[in-house]
Amino acid sequence: MCGIAGILTSRSDLDLEKPLQQMKSALRHRGPDGEGLEIARLPSGIQIGLAHTRLSILDLSVAGRQPMSDAPSGSLIVYNGEVYNHMTIRESLRQQPFTSRTDTETILKGWSERGPAILQDLRGMFALAMYDSPRKQFCLARDRMGIKPLYICRRDERTWIFASEVRAILASGLVDRYLDEAALESYLAFGSVISPRTLIDGIQSLTPGESWTFALDEPNLEPTRSRYWQAPFRSHSSSVPDRDDALAIIRERMKEATQMRMLSDVPVGVFLSGGIDSSGIVATLADAGHQVHSFSVTFDEKEYDESCYASTVAKHFQTNHTELRLRSDDILGQFDHALASYDQPSADGLNSFFIAEEVRRAGIKVALSGLGGDELFAGYPMFQHANKLDNPLLRFSFRSLLPIAQRVWPNSTKFQKLGELLQAEDSRVDRFAAYRHLMKRPRYGSLLHKGSRFVQNALPENLSAELTERTRDLDAVNAHSLLEISLYLQNVLLRDTDQMSMAHGLEVRVPLIDHALVEAVCALPGRMKLSPGKRGAMKGLLLDALPVPLPRTVTHRKKMGFVLPWSRWMRNELYQQVSTLLGDRDTCEQIGLSSGAVKTMWCDFCASRPSIRAEEIMALLNLMCWCRNQKVRLRAGSAARLAA
């Protein structure tokens, strides 16, 4: 796991050394164990500059240093990630000599032999940049599920800059720090910018399962973009598989996915919340004979503490269990440092920051997480309502009865959210956006000086059209799963996990979204994912696929999300600090926010008015701090663009 950065240019007059050094320095937290830089100057005048910072996980020797070159072909790679089946791939390569045990070298040699087709063989998480000398190409690629980030910016017609983090591209000194106004509205609506946009105008991300190829015999360096994988959800017309057969396939894929992710030359731990997803990973590993080192977080605030469930699972499967106590004084003392660790702000990332810090402090460099289980196995309550909201007659009935319910229960957040869903257009994508919106349109419109000017769902227009088309022939549950994976998982959960774990040099692996497992679950009808398990618990498909059952206290517990008591802290211990940060009128002006509207929201929150949630305040706080730290501002006379 590492940080990568680079510059591709057909300008022979551009000095790459200084910007690459600055980008490398900006990525040092992602790879504290080593670093490298190399510039290839081609006879055509094209320059390829690559930089790397290394977190040593496989082959800790200097043989794993990057950028890594292949002497026979003259190719060069920088790579961030882990490919768990790389030793199997090695066996299929024809008489290739290897000098290390790294997956980096496997990809490099495999690319030399097979070209970009090698991407289809990789099972893992990755972002890479490859100078393919024999084919006269330069390629960028990102893993299928978007676990590892990769951002790119066109500096001018002949120069591209890319990196693992937006901040590294900014650190190059070659890019203007102008705010993307459409991305700002997306951020306020969802609490996180929806890719491929970022908050910086001109910087975008590669999409999951995408590759960009540049022909190096053409000076204009126009990329050819291609999608080599998409989640293959079944259509209505597909035949229905037998449930027992499906369970056998999922069980085998789970076993493969978890055991593969134990590949490491350093100790591996497991995040254990006591929920079904993380407990299922522990159960699968324990059944395979692994001595699991599990970690859970405990709080003094009992209403936020899940440690009793984690302890039950740990005892049941005899793990080497460590409880990490997060005390409010420790968290509050690190508050400014945590805010400064965002590569892109979000409403929720700080929770991940403190967990990662504690696990890394315990001496662990690799940890497995149950992330993605809810999105894949229909674990959110909204999945239970998907079929009802898909039915026009039921939607009409709900719309008729809702005003009565809202009069009887005027402060019910449940009925407020239902009202938002029913007000959305009769489109799955619009309903999903309403469900996942952090702020309502009138709220975020009031925050913007010029008001809200974009489409109702606050999604990039072409992305909205693409998702509408992809969900058209799916059943309601699978359609919702695709949207959860494409929008919430990839733009919130995975992004927050990557940036906050890598802030501490911690690699997080996510077996439940191994692409082979995802393909197996995508092939099943939605009703199979909603049916209770053999013991009557929800998320029965996952539970019944486990090799051994989980304790009943875990499978039948009330679902909890992992949150810290920010609401209490911001009204008390953090009150003065947050008041000062949100009262920064200059930052509001520079990024197009109404300081009056921000102040009103903060006052309403402090007065405990139910219309303002802690997540909304946290989203504003993180946004303003990030823009101030990165010196981001509106372009004079800028006009927001609709197209992504």
Q: Each residue of 548-571: pLDDT tens digit?
A: 999 999 998 877 666 778 898 899
Closest CA to 325 of 351, 305, 309, 348: 305
183 in Cβ contact with 32 (< 8 Å): no
State the DSSP string of 518-530.
HHHHHTS-HHHHH
Token output for 221: 């360096």
Amino acid at 472: R
Would you call 90 exposed, middle or buried from its count of C-beta atoms within 10 A (0-12, 13-18, 19+)?
Answer: middle
Amino acid at 21: Q
What pLDDT score does 325 carry?
A: 85
To which residue do tokens 């324990």 refer?
286
Q: How far apart are CA 112 and CA 338, in angstroms?
A: 41
Q: What's phi and psi for 529, nearest 5 deg? A: -80, -20
Low-confidence ranges of the chain (pLDDT < 50): 639-644
What is the pairing mode between strands 507-509 and 366-368?
A: parallel
Q: Give the three-class secondary structure for 242.
A: coil
Q: How far apart are CA 273 and CA 276, in angstroms?
A: 9
CATH class of 2-227: alpha beta
Closest CA to 432 of 469, 390, 399: 390
Closest CA to 30 of 191, 163, 193, 215: 163
Domain chopping of the chain, boundaries: 2-227, 243-377+494-555, 565-644
What is the pairing mode between strands 75-83 and 124-132?
A: antiparallel
What is the pairing mode between strands 293-299 and 268-271?
A: parallel
Starting from the edge strand earliest in sequence, which strands make up the sheet with 151-156, in order? 34-41, 47-54, 2-9, 159-163, 151-156, 203-205
Q: What is the CATH number of domain 243-377+494-555?
A: 3.40.50.620
To which residue do tokens 């009330």 refer?
558
- Between helix 494-502 and helix 350-361 the angle, nearest 10°, is 40
305 in Cβ contact with 460 (< 8 Å): no
Q: How far is CA 47 from CA 9, 11, 16, 217, in A?
A: 5, 7, 8, 12
What pLDDT score does 533 carry?
A: 74
Starting from the edge strand earliest in sequence, which strands make up the sheet with 68-70, in order? 68-70, 75-83, 124-132, 137-142, 210-215, 223-227
Read off the pTM. Answer: 0.94
Q: How far apart are CA 7 and CA 106, in angstroms?
A: 24
Starting from the edge strand earliest in sequence, which strands make up the sheet with 507-509, in order? 320-326, 293-299, 268-271, 366-368, 507-509
Token output for 163: 């990196």
530 in Cβ contact with 383 (< 8 Å): yes
What pLDDT score does 224 carry?
A: 96
Q: How far apart are CA 498 and CA 502, in angstroms?
A: 6
CB atoms inside a 10 Å sphere around CB 10: 20
Token output for 169: 């591209």
148 in Cβ contact with 213 (< 8 Å): no
